[in-house]
Amino acid sequence: MTNSEKGKECAHINNYPNTLAIKSADNEIYEHALIKWLEYYYQTEVYDRRVCSGFNEKTQSAIPLNTVEHTDINRNAKRLMNKTVIEIRDREIDEDIWRSARNEAARYTHNKVEELLKIYGVL
C-alpha cells in the first residue's frame, strides 16, 4: 500500500483541522512523525499493562496502584520519549510538525493506536 493509499484509508488526518496545514505541506514527513508517536504510545501502554495492577475500563488504560508501578512506568515512558525525540530530530523534522503529530497520536485510545499501526504496516 502506498503512502497515498494509506492517507486515504486513514481519514483521521482530516479530523484535526488545526494541524491540516502542517500535514498538507509535507504529508510524508508528518506521517513519519505520527507513526513514531503512535509507536511510542503503543509501546508505553503495552509496558504499562504488563507492570500495572490497575486498569480503567472506561479509558482502556493501565493504572499504577502503587509507587513502584508508578516509578517503573514513568521511567520506561521517559526512556521511550527520549528515544523517539532523538529519532525524529535525527531526521531533522521541524519541531512544530513533530509536536503536532505527537498531539494527534495522544488523542487516540490504545485500540485506535493499534489499528492505525496495522494500517501503516508497523504491526
Task: Provide the domain limits for residue 46.
Answer: 3-119
Task: Mark 36-72 as b/e (b = at least 16 C-beta within 10 Å).
Answer: bbbbbbbbbbebbeeebeeeeeeeeebebeeeebeeb
The pLDDT score that the predictor gives to residue 28 is: 87
CB 106 within 8 A of CB 41: yes
Report how many domains make up the chain. Answer: 1
Over residues 3-15, the pLDDT tens digits come to: 444 444 444 444 4
Alpha helices in 52-109 (DSSP H): 67-90, 95-106
Tell me the C-alpha distance between 2 and 81, whole Å.
28
CB 93 within 8 A of CB 29: yes
CA angle at 27 for the pair 85 and 16, rounded to the nearest 5° = 85
Q: Give Cβ neighbours of residue 109 (< 8 Å, ≥ 6 apart).
A: 59, 60
pTM of this structure: 0.78
Over residues 19-78, the pLDDT tens digits come to: 444 445 568 899 999 999 999 999 999 999 999 999 999 888 999 999 999 999 999 999
Residue from 88, 48, 44, 32 nearest 56 by CA: 48
Other beta carbons less than 10 A from residue 10's beta carbon:
16
